[in-house]
Every structure is written in C-alpha cells, then in structure tokens.
Amino acid sequence: MRTFLLLVSCLVFAIVSVTGLRGTKTMRSPIEIFPDMVRQAKVKEQAPSYFFSDQRASRYPVPGTVPTTDPVDLPYLNTGTIGDYWGDGIPIPVTGETLKTGRERFEIFCSACHGSTGSGNGIATQYGLVGVPNYHSEHTRQMPDGQIFFVITHGQGLMLGYGANLSPEERWAVVAYIRALQLSQNAALSDVPIAERQRLEGK
C-alpha cells in the first residue's frame, strides 16, 4: 500500500511538473502539452514576410473594401455630419412615438437647464446657471438638425455631452422634440391644417 501511494504521488508530481510549469526562465522552450496558440506563425506590421511574393507583411485592403471605422465615414445617423458639413433632416422616422420618446428624454436630461418649453429658464437657472440659450432664438432655430445632434452628443461650452446616456436614435428623437417645441412658439398660420385654420379664423 505504501509503495502504491508513493508511486501515485511521484506520478502526480511528475505530471504536474511537466504540464503545470510554464514561464520558467530558460533558453529552451518549455514542454507544452496545451500550447493554446501561444506561439503561432504570424506576420508583424512593418516587418518583411517571405510568405508574400512582394515580401511585405503589411497588406493593402482587398479592392472594394468599404471603410467603416474612420469617424469621417460614419453615417449621418451617428454623427450629424455629412463630410465636413452639418446635415439637416432627421434620419429616423418621426412619428408620435418618436416625439413621445424625445419629450420623455428631454424632460429627464435637458429640461433642468433648458426648461420644459426650451426657453432656457430651467430650475438650474434659478440656482444661478447663466448662459443657457433660448431655443426660440433665431440662432438656435437656424441651427441645422445635425449640429443640434452634435451638441447633444458632445456638449458645448458649459453643457456636457449626452452621447453616453442617449442612443443615436434617442438623440434624434430629442432633436425632433426640440423642433416641435420651436414650432409651438413660432408657427405661422400656414402651418396649421386647413380644417383647424378655418376654426381659428372663425369660418
């Protein structure tokens, strides 16, 4: 029995030594039972590779490759910009549901400073925050949709960005809601549907 136990311990010790020991400092490569792709044939950038006929390890993209990671090429939906310019227009369907989402997010994230009607008189201004713009000013009304999207994403001046809190679709919903707020204060009679217009004009 003792010999058996001794033999088993020796065996266990041998197995653990062979399979378990890795990373000991030695010039020789260790015995690796499970190499797990630690060492593999690969090419490094800016180094020659004799695998390719021109011996360059850095390869050109396959012809026809579409770049997707360069921020300049990210679609309008994610940036609010088209090339070097602000885009105008809301790239998601603007439905009642969209405006509801926009209103909800606006009340949560923006109204404390900008006020529920967007006139720049939120509760924070009563505690001394200055410089909150009025959405009904000519300046904000003339801002392209893409620029408003950009301000929501990255912030501007004293205002922090909300890109981490709101998905791109939610940010566009807030842009749509801001446009609705602006319309509510600056609409012309011609914006009113015919039936309602007649009622307003008392016809």
The residues binding ligand HEC (CB under 6 A) are 109-110, 112-114, 124, 131-133, 139-140, 143, 148, 151-152, 156-159, 162, 174
Least Å distance, CB 107 to ligand HEC, is 10
Nearer to ligand HEC, 77 or 159 (CB): 159
Least Å distance, CB 103 to ligand HEC, is 11
Nearer to ligand HEC, 76 or 162 (CB): 162
Nearer to ligand HEC, 56 or 136 (CB): 136
Q: Cα separations (Å) of 75 from 32, 79, 99, 202?
A: 48, 7, 22, 48
Contact 12, 20 (CB under 8 A): no
Greatest alpha-carbon pair distance for the chain in Å reads 112
Q: Cα separations (Å) of 21 from 3, 44, 159, 178?
A: 26, 28, 55, 64
Q: Using N-to-C axis directions, what is the helix angle for 168-186 and 96-109, rounded to 10°? A: 90
Nearer to ligand HEC, 43 or 86 (CB): 86
Least Å distance, CB 72 to ligand HEC, is 23
Task: Give the residues across from 82 on adjacent strands.
Answer: 85
Tell me the C-alpha distance between 38 and 120, whole Å. Answer: 59
For residue 154, which amino acid is it?
H
Least Å distance, CB 106 to ligand HEC, is 6
Least Å distance, CB 40 to ligand HEC, is 48
Q: What are phi and psi of 82, to 5 degrees?
A: -120, 110
Nearer to ligand HEC, 76 or 135 (CB): 135
Least Å distance, CB 186 to ligand HEC, is 14
Nearer to ligand HEC, 59 or 139 (CB): 139
Which residue, judged by CB position, is nearest to ligand HEC in the bound state? Answer: 157
Task: Give the residues across from 86 on adjacent strands.
Answer: 81
